[in-house]
Amino acid sequence: MTGRQRQHCDKCGFIDRQCVCQFIRQARVPQRVIIIQDQKEASHAKNTVGLLSLALPQIEVIKVQVDEDVSSYLTGFSPDDTALLHPSEHAEVIESLDVDRKFGINTLVVIDATWRRAKRILLSNPSLQKFPALTFGQTVKSVYSIRKAPSAEDLSTFEAGVYALEQLNNIRLEPLVEFMARSIDWQWRDQPKEHRYN
């Protein structure tokens, strides 16, 4: 005998009890945003990329194995107008870029994985290493409250992506972060606090 399948919302994709349609806020930005997502991270219940896809409908999510060659997905992208959001040793500080440099970035690539696995994905892929890396110079406090992080400044993929786009476009996207926070509170409303941080 098989259990009854849970119904999913046709719009947001979450199961009906966790539907976040009432909270959705969206924005359009000029950059193409590509998320290179570790398959292991994709299956994690606390992953935020699903929410980010609702807030920024134009993003593209590419699910990969941690040692997979991603070059086939990045054909045609040039280091001249593509940047990788990753705190590499020689990364440029995004807040310090001049206006021409910011507006010259047409594609933003983001790796969605744990720090260790993100580094492994990067080191396994020269096609990612060819892009200039961007990092944050300012401390940005995370509002992502359901997953352990080394410090309050360690951002979820949702928060990091939104903050980077704010900096590149000199805009504010607070409604998107509010959408994420409200959605997470709603989806985890019945869970004991000790379950939220595992």
pLDDT digits (tens, 9 = 90+) for 104-119: 999 999 999 988 999 9
The yes-or-no verdict on residue 135 having pLDDT over 50 is: yes
- Mean pLDDT score, 161-180: 95
This prediction's pTM: 0.87
Element (H, E) at 86: none
3 state SS of 62 = strand
Are the CB atoms for 25 and 101 separated by under 8 Å? no
Q: Tell me how far apart the alpha carbons of residues 37 and 130 are, in angstroms, rounded to a whole number.
A: 18
Are the CB atoms for 62 and 37 separated by under 8 Å? yes
Least confident span in 37-41, 82-86, 137-141: 137-141
∠168-171-173 over CA atoms, to 5°? Answer: 105
pLDDT tens for 9-58 read 999 999 899 999 999 999 999 999 999 999 998 877 678 999 999 999 98
Q: What token pair was written down for 172?
A: 């504010």
The yes-or-no verdict on residue 150 having pLDDT over 50 is: no
